[in-house]
Structure 1
Amino acid sequence: MGSGETICVTGAGGFIVSWIVKLLLEKGCYVKGTVRSSERSQHLLTLNGASDRLQLVAADILTPGTFDSIFEGCDGVFHTAAFVPGNNTIPPAQIEDTAIKGTLNVLESCAKTRPKRVVFTSSFVTMKFTPKETPESVFDETFWTDPQFARKELGDTALSPDTYFKAYVVGKTLAEEAAWEFVKTHSLDMVVMNPVMVAGPMLQTSVNATNEFPGDLFLGKTIVIPNHVTLWVGVKDVAKAHVLAYENPKAEGRYILAERAMHYFDLVVLLKKLFPQ
């Protein structure tokens, strides 16, 4: 990645992508960041280099053609904008629809403006929910979530957190499948990042859904620790992986981003050690 390149980043105010913007600016890039709310993206304006090389642009990811002019002249596109389930009232079916339509709108604009490479933020959930999974399974990038299997395995209570998570899983899976089909048809160069649960310091001022669990621990809201093992990865490593995926010409296909498996109890013990106060 050469200093002076122009990179567009969708959903620029989010947890992971804020760190991506920070790294791109540190490398001397000019960054266009699309945002839904300028109020929630003000933290980006305080980053080193932002005053000279960061432009925030309001964009509705569901509006066809909205990225045509934004992507014009961009060397690369990082598509990171996504709905993450939390406390909300969005109908689950709309979550799936938004994931697919938003991704295709971004890629349709890429097909017109022809960036050198698209780096797409997907998720490990697009691999996790499959009948192929057994206690002995070793997941790799060939695994794909089966949407029908995921719908059966995950919760069904209307507007429950489980239902939102199911919609997130299915939406991310269908969106990534649609993305691969699109770039194949339109000869676009795309690399996909599939991170597991991402944790770490936040640059933004509002707590994202991923950090709600450790946040609730600190605030004393979580009384019962889930008896569950989760895969974790640090947010700074995820941001670096995105930048490397753009920089390395040999990068291709999908990449699982994972650092360790940890039981929630062990996470609590670690957090207590790091933050005894």
Structure 2
Amino acid sequence: MEAEEEDEENFGSKELGPKTYCVTGATGFIGSWLVNLLLLNGYKVHATARDPAKSLKLLSSWTVTDRLRLFKADLQEEGSFDEAVKGCDGVFHVAASMTFNVDQQDNIEEYVQKNVIDPEIKGTINLLKSCLKSKSVKRVVLTSTISTLTGKDADGERRRLVDESCRTLVDQVYSLLKRLSEDAAFKFASENSIDIVSIITSTVSGPFLTSYIPSSIRVFTAPITGDSDFLRILSNVNERMGSVAVVHTNDICRAHIFLMEHENAKGRYLCCVESCGLSELVERLSRHCGANFQRCVDEKKNWMPSEVSNKKLKDLGFRFEHGIDDIINETIDACVECGFISLT
């Protein structure tokens, strides 16, 4: 009984009949788990993918039900999402461009603007236009990223507390991409009276449904695997933010649903259960694995980590179910099970 009451508190009371939600990027790390969580909680789901045929293996991982419909949709094609969002109460816009190569370009700025930023913004606006046409969509929850934030002020000094107001200096392609895309979404929504809320993801780790190892899992486990590229990303996150903020797979998806259904949700919400310095994170990973990974850490002495705040989300009433030790345990267990990590 207590569990049922907690679910109602976090997801909001349901009207007669199950609500219908569209999830873009349904085959990704967060998207696939969100689809499954929605189905488990009785919702109808319209899941979109550029190639649904490639989703059949993933489909077998989702809860078996007739409340799920798959749609083929491409963010770059205007009107592509019209059918997917038709009749939906809300849309979770999880899909995003995650990989791109600018290393070999002669004019990097022009290339990034034309081939990365413009398509990302266009895709988001295309989706919002479909939401407008639907007449049924009441809210859009946009999945953003902590890359849009920074732990340093305009003078380069470290902040002790990082929250939603600490917008990043656009000095990296991915940060620039996500910030401009989010800004464009809020501007279009404001001009067209669309209710939009964004959830700022920290480093998401834990169990996963995808057949591949998600990038954030590779970053989180880099001290264990010794992958120099992902270890460098983890170190850069620690340097930029002042700490590494984390959240469990299930909690990030619960937070998406919570923000969709809470009538008072407005603006941007940072979602992390806890943050700690890189050296502390590596120490915790070492304890779980029974090995010393401290050689991977290049952190200044007397480092005082910044706190990444979840106050705004918690003040709205959201409660996290998984702490950092849960995240470490379940991430490593999932990686061992699929053969990505060996502890022997």
TM-score tier after normalising by the smaller chain length? 0.7 to 0.9
The 5 A counterparts of 1:58-97 are 58-85=72-99, 92-93=112-113, 94-97=115-118
Distance 1:110 1:262, change over 3 A: same
Alignment of 1:110 with 2:131, yes or no, is: yes
Paired with 1:181 and 1:81, the residues of 2 have a C-alpha distance of 19
What corresponds to 1:125 in structure 2? 147
Paired with 1:224 and 1:18, the residues of 2 have a C-alpha distance of 23
Query: Which one-letter code corresponds to 2:163 in the other structure?
Result: D
Paired with 1:211 and 1:80, the residues of 2 have a C-alpha distance of 17
TM-score (norm 2): 0.68
Q: Which deviations, in whole Å up to 9, do the C-alpha atoms of 1:131-160 show, x marking residues without a partner? A: 276323533323333xxx423xxxxxxxxx
Query: Which one-letter code corresponds to 2:18 in the other structure?
Result: G
1:213, CA displacement in angstroms? 2.7
Is 1:198–1:232's contact at 8 Å kept on the other side of the alignment? yes
Query: Which one-letter code corresponds to 1:37 in the other structure?
Result: D
SS at match of 1:134: coil
Query: Which one-letter code corresponds to 1:102 in the other structure?
Result: G
What corresponds to 1:141 in structure 2? 164
1:233, CA displacement in angstroms? 1.8
The 5 A counterparts of 1:122-201 are 122-128=144-150, 131=154, 134-145=157-168, 149-151=169-171, 166-201=172-207
Q: Alpha carbon RMSD of aligned pairs, Å?
A: 2.7
Paired with 2:285 and 2:188, the residues of 1 have a C-alpha distance of 42
Q: Which deviations, in whole Å up to 9, do the C-alpha atoms of 1:31-56 show, x marking residues without a partner? A: 11111233553354224544412222
SS at match of 2:36: helix
What corresponds to 2:274 in structure 1? 260
Is 1:43–1:204's contact at 8 Å kept on the other side of the alignment? no
Structure 1: stretches of 5+ with no match in the other structure: 152-165
What corresponds to 1:158 in structure 2? none
Paired with 1:193 and 1:170, the residues of 2 have a C-alpha distance of 17
1:86, CA displacement in angstroms? 7.4
Is 1:65–1:105's contact at 8 Å kept on the other side of the alignment? yes
1:214, CA displacement in angstroms? 4.1
Distance 1:223 1:97, change over 3 A: closer
Is 2:189–2:196's contact at 8 Å kept on the other side of the alignment? yes
Paired with 1:69 and 1:57, the residues of 2 have a C-alpha distance of 8
1:184, CA displacement in angstroms? 0.8
Distance 1:54 1:44, change over 3 A: farther
Question: What is the count of residue pairs matched by the alignment?
Answer: 260
Q: Mean alpha-carbon deviation: is it higher for 185-194 or for 222-231?
A: 222-231
1:212, CA displacement in angstroms? 1.7
1:15, CA displacement in angstroms? 0.7
SS at match of 1:150: coil
TM-score (norm 1): 0.82
1:18, CA displacement in angstroms? 1.4
Equivalent pairs: percent with the same residue? 34
Is 2:222–2:230's contact at 8 Å kept on the other side of the alignment? no
What corresponds to 1:155 in structure 2? none
What corresponds to 1:163 in structure 2? none
Q: Which deviations, in whole Å up to 9, do the C-alpha atoms of 1:109-141 show, x marking residues without a partner? A: 111113011111111222327627632353332
Larger radius of gyration: 2
Q: Which deviations, in whole Å up to 9, do the C-alpha atoms of 1:187-211 show, x marking residues without a partner? A: 1111110112222221111112212
Alignment of 1:24 with 2:38, yes or no, is: yes
Is 1:45–1:54's contact at 8 Å kept on the other side of the alignment? no
Q: Which is bigger in relative contact order (C-alpha 8 A, separation at least 6)? A: 1
1:257, CA displacement in angstroms? 0.7
Structure 2: stretches of 5+ with no match in the other structure: 1-13, 106-110, 291-342
